[in-house]
Amino acid sequence: MSRKIIVIMGVSGSGKSTVGNLLSEKIKVPFVDADDFHPKANIEKMSKGVPLDDEDRKPWLEALNKKMNEAQDENGIILACSALKESYREILSKRITWIEWVYLEGSFELIKSRMEKRKHFMKADLLQSQFDCLEVPNHETTIAIEEEPEVLVNTIINKMKTSSFGILGLGVMGKSLATNMLNKGFSISVYNRETPEEKGIVDAFIDENFGRRVLGFTELKEFIDSIQKPRKILMMVKAGKVTDTIIESMVPFLEEGDVLIDGGNSHYLDTKRRSDYLEDNGIEFVGLGVSGGEEGALKGPSLMPGGKKESYTKVAKYLEAISAKDEDNNPCCSYIGPDGAGHFVKMVHNGIEYGDMQLLAEVYAILSETMNNEEIATLLSEWNTRKHGSYLLEITSKITKEKEGDTYMLDIILDKAGNKGTGSWSSIAALEMGVPTTVKNAAVHARYTSSFKDERVRLSKYKNQAEHKEVVNVEVLEQAYDFARTVNLHQGFQLLKAASDEFNWNLNLAEICRVWSNGCIIKSKKIKEYSHLLKEVASLFDDEGVILNLYSQEAAARELITYTLQHRIHIPCFYEAYNYWVAMTTARSSANVIQAQRDFFGAHRFQKVGDKEEKTFHYNWS
């Protein structure tokens, strides 16, 4: 059974031993002073005024960790230890289920004056070196040391009864995010409702995390009261009415300055409405886009927070700690913009995801005409390792060869695609803002069309089966796939740009791409590349390299479409990518005909070729 492991940390002279001893008396957990575990060589060095280096500290920290591991199985321990650096704390934490870090915080001047008053083998002038290497831990209980020890100890005891962060909703995502938070060393409170049909969700989570610093509740008020103020609470519940109902029932228990985070897939306009409503009640609101599914939530999701910058700042350390990390180890979590900007960006992410998923479904449809599942899986895996580094391509390769018994899973699964609405929201927003996002729109329609299964089966019976099937050129297919992905991403970025202009969000596309470079469903090498490129150009179509590449791949897209026309394969996303590209690279379009028609029947007027003043004209057509 795990016992309390408390480390009172801070620079020398901050009062660790005094506070640790007093705390030990009050909560009856044995006290140990880390200084007593220094090897002789270290003590001699320190008494000569020579600062210890990391090598000197290693055996000392390892001895302390051994002691803590023993105490974990016995009566627990309160350890007074400077533990100034994250790397020291890592050694101390090895194999310990839960440590309560208590950081005693005081200014250099205050601690120096205290040290000068007492005898200590650490000289006061070594204090500066301690401050220099201090890395303040981000999941500590911080206690300002100005007060008397008695007061400090009571504050520590009260803080240990509460949590620094709350998670509401222990569904698929909430549970994984809560575990992720515990893994990062935060103390959390969790809440889930109890219904007659579903009981014991909170108890099960607490059991699974026995010995860790988690408090569980099924009563909303108790849950909220258990969180340190200003409270930070992440809601991971069903989007829509449920979110409103839960917010409504929380408001009476929340206080000014508390921050509520909605991590569900909420519509960005709902987020703006909720933010205004909560602001009227003095409560701050962060609309958080979360991507990565269950595994991402557990190991590191991509996070897109929106709302007031000050509100984000209050919760940044928690969100950044649990998020995925990019290639330079920076968090894939970055302030996106005000209002519903975070949820808007998540919605566009999902739209791009729809396009990317449908393109892969189309690739499978083409390949499965002439290849078996094992061959397809091998080919997709080879593409991915050699070039694309895409999560969706990786899982599609795995899915293709997965079997239940002797049957491929893809042969078992009914061909009717579900959706939860974010794809269509993204298309609706694009239509409203006048941005052509044809690839993802086609993907939404493909899902809708798939749902007419019975009708498809009935109509297919009239069809003559193609007799001869040619093998597709896989190099052509791969080039066309790459081409269509670029177009899909470009269209998504254009939608973000339009929203940024319309709502004055000042979105940073390069940064959004960086946030998408790991932890999320659309992560891939291309996204990483664009996170760099979009620092240089405002749009992918402003980059000559991208333009020339698309021109060089255009023939492959055309050849693929010709092949699928002959073989009667439904590939709407490839078509739309190709047609969009052709339209965007056609200097004189057929829209003159549209303008003439509009003017003919409705006197809608038109502009003339070459008229710099952009005047409008009506022509008497009859």
Residues with a catalytic annotation lie at 346, 353
Torsions phi, psi for 119 (to 5 deg): -85, 125
Q: Taking CB under 6 A as the rule, does residue 190 contact ligand NDP?
A: no
Nearest to residue 164, comparing CAs of 297, 31, 321? 321
238 sits near ligand NDP (criterion: CB under 6 A) = yes
| Block residue for tokens 């939404």 | 444
Burial of 408 (0-12, 13-18, 19+ CB in 10 A): middle
Q: Does 250 bind ligand NDP (CB under 6 A)?
A: no
Residue 265, interface with ligand NDP (CB under 6 A)? yes
CA angle 243, 185, 100 (to 5 degrees): 115
Amino acid identity of 437?
A: T
What angle do helix axes 525-536 and 474-503 make, rounded to 10 degrees? Answer: 50
**Residue from 3, 193, 567, 604 that binds ligand NDP (CB under 6 A)?**
193
Give the rounded distance of the alpha carbon of 265 from its chain centre: 12
CB of 401 to ligand NDP, least distance (A): 23
Shorter beta-carbon distance to ligand NDP: residue 160 or 395:
395
Q: Does 173 bind ligand NDP (CB under 6 A)?
A: yes
We find the least distance from the C-beta atom of residue 192 to ligand NDP, in angstroms, to be 5
Q: How far is the CB of 235 from ligand NDP (least distance, A)?
A: 8
246 binds ligand NDP (CB under 6 A): yes
Residue 167 CB, shortest distance to ligand NDP, in Å, is 10
Stretch that binds ligand NDP, among 165-173, 363-371, 377-385, 441-449 (CB under 6 A): 165-173
In three-state secondary structure terms, 79 is: strand
Question: Given strand 214-217, what is the order of strands in its sheet?
Answer: 214-217, 188-191, 165-168, 232-235, 259-262, 284-291, 302-307
Helices 422-433 and 341-367: crossing angle in degrees, nearest 10, is 110
619: which 2 tokens?
């022509």
Which lies closer to ligand NDP via its Cβ, residue 262 or residue 320?
Answer: 262
The encoded tokens of residue 38 equal 């220094």
Please give the C-alpha separations between residue 595 and each of 84, 96, 438, 616, 620, in angstroms, as whole numbers.
71, 72, 22, 11, 14
Among 36, 109, 132, 198, binds ligand NDP (CB under 6 A): 198
210: alpha, beta or left? (left if phi > 0; alpha if psi -120 to 50): beta
Shorter beta-carbon distance to ligand NDP: residue 232 or 401 = 232
Member of 79, 92, 201, 522 binding ligand NDP (CB under 6 A): 201
Query: What's the CA angle centered on 594, arms 591 and 595, to 5 degrees?
Result: 90
Q: Which of 237, 254, 363, 571 binds ligand NDP (CB under 6 A)?
A: 237
174 binds ligand NDP (CB under 6 A): yes
Q: Residues binding ligand NDP: what is the number (CB under 6 A)?
A: 23
CB nearer to ligand NDP: pick between 21 and 218: 218
Which of 195, 464, 586, 590 forms a contact with ligand NDP (CB under 6 A)?
195
Q: Does 392 bind ligand NDP (CB under 6 A)?
A: no
Q: Which stretch binds ligand NDP (CB under 6 A): 171-179, 225-233, 411-419, 458-466?
A: 171-179
Given 10, 137, 264, 355, the residue binding ligand NDP (CB under 6 A): 264
Hey, what are 333's tokens? 């979590």
Q: Which stretch binds ligand NDP (CB under 6 A): 29-37, 290-298, 368-376, 602-610?
A: 290-298
Residue 285 near residue 513 (C-beta atoms within 8 A): no
d(C-alpha 62, C-alpha 68), whole Å: 10
**Which range binds ligand NDP by CB under 6 A, 19-27, 100-108, 238-246, 507-515?**
238-246
Q: Give CA angle at 83 (21, 144), nearest 5°.
A: 60
Question: Mapping DSSP to helix (H, G, I), strand (E, B) and coil, where does residue 597 land?
Answer: helix
Residue from the set 242, 431, 466, 555 that interacts with ligand NDP by CB under 6 A: 242
Q: Are strands 302-307 and 284-291 parallel, antiparallel or unpaired?
A: antiparallel
192 forms part of the interface with ligand NDP (CB under 6 A): yes
Counting every residue written for the chain, the total comes to 622
- Closest contact distance (angstroms) between CB of 507 and ligand NDP is 20
| From 164-172, 407-415, 497-505, 608-616, span contacting ligand NDP (CB under 6 A) | 164-172
CB of 237 to ligand NDP, least distance (A): 3
Per CB under 6 A, 472 contacts ligand NDP: no
- Cβ distance 250 to 274 under 8 Å? no
Task: Determine, following the binding rule CB under 6 A, whether residue 172 of this chain makes contact with ligand NDP.
Answer: yes
Contact residues for ligand NDP, defined by CB under 6 A: 169-174, 192-193, 195, 198, 201, 236-239, 242, 246, 263-265, 290-291, 293
